[in-house]
Amino acid sequence: MKKLLAAVLTTLGLAIAMPAQAGPYPDKPVRLIVPFAAGGPSDITARLLGQGIQEYLGGQPLVIENKPGGGAIVATSALLSAEPDGYTIMMASNIMVTSKWLYDTLPYDPMKDLRAISGVSISPVVVLVPASSPIKNLADLLRAAREKPGKMNYGSAGLGTIPQLATEFFLQKTGIQMTHIPYRGSGQALPAVVAGQVDLYFDVAISAQGLVQQGQVRAIGVVGKERLAQFPNVPTLAEQGLSDFDVASWFGLVGRAAVPDDVVKTLNVAVNKVLATPQFKEKIATLGGLPFGGSPEDFRKRYTEEYEMWGRVIPGTGLKLN
């Protein structure tokens, strides 16, 4: 009897000492930090993903949390202060790889402290001029700019945004000079193009397609390797003679570097299942985007190449956001 009692007590002791085992990931909602305000492309993309991903995460939802400010520094710092368990992830964009070159100091290293989970969507850049402009193609643009060095202007959605960086990259590639007019987002820049106050504007298709299709602005080229379905008659800049120039706006999921492999795999599989659905494809297409999935390695390759590219381009502009 004493031996039996001792065995029971020993078993109970072991049971008390052993922590409860967590269920398979995820067994609670996943927090998705968005570095920009509600209503913008990053937020819209996050919510589209959230609408379809729950069924592939065992019924657990993505809870969207907007943390704008500081060129995604606020959001990234919040991610890095969370546990690396995959229950807090972030919607990354181009700013993740350009920030290293735009700020003298960052409180983190985007290439070492963050881990790729999956790409989500990509939106090519289109080259816009006012509908009233005599410029119809790349050759016209280069001719006009060279005839009046520094007299033409270009607009942007703000300092350090893809519209500005893409244009500065273009200026470096072509050797032309233009004056920069920064606005507070595409919502302010595009009306200036429509009004003819801006000679040139590089914008992501997600923002520009409505005005192009309505004839309020003219698209004279697509930045990328292929024409866009929504602008089938607009040739790429490569077709017009400008090679090795490819810039696009993209979104993808990242977590802390220490997120476990099995968690990354679960999230990646779930994201790719959503991207393959007709519903997501249709909705992202209406925003001028394309699904951008694949493996974590595919996503990391994309942003590593961009990190290196912007490391060559941005220092030559002298642009800093400190």
131 falls within a domain: yes
6-31 per-position pLDDT tens digit: 443 444 444 444 444 457 899 999 99
CATH of the domain at 108: 3.40.190.150
Using one digit for the tens of pLDDT, what is the confidence trace for 155-206? 998 899 999 999 999 999 999 999 999 998 888 999 999 999 999 999 988 7
The verdict on 200 and 219 lying in the same domain is yes
Are residues 82 and 159 both part of a single domain? Answer: no
Q: Please give the structure tokens belonging to residue 206.
A: 């997600």
Overall size of the chain counted in residues = 322
Considering the domain architecture, whether residues 161 and 199 belong to the same structural domain is answered as: yes
Within a domain: residue 322? no
Q: Are residues 254 and 114 in the same domain?
A: yes
Q: Per the structure, how many domains does the chain have? A: 2
Range of the domain at 99: 30-122+249-317
pLDDT of residue 11: 41
CA distance 261 to 283: 30
Asked whether the beta carbons of 79 and 216 are under 8 A apart, the reply is: no
Residue 305 and residue 169 share a domain: no
What is the C-alpha to C-alpha distance for residues 176 and 134, in angstroms, rounded to an integer? 18
The answer to whether the CB of 138 falls within 8 A of the CB of 237 is yes
Counting residues of the chain whose pLDDT is more than 70, the rounded percentage is 93
CA distance 171 to 30: 42
Residue 241 located in a structural domain: no
Residue 208 sits in a domain of what CATH number?
Answer: 3.40.190.10
- The CA-atom distances, in angstroms, between 80 and each of 88, 104, 257, 268, 294 are 9, 20, 9, 20, 24
Encode 119-158: b = buried (16+ Cβ within 10 Å), e = exposed: bbbbbbbbbbbbeebebebbeebbebbeeeeeebebbbbb
pLDDT at 322: 79
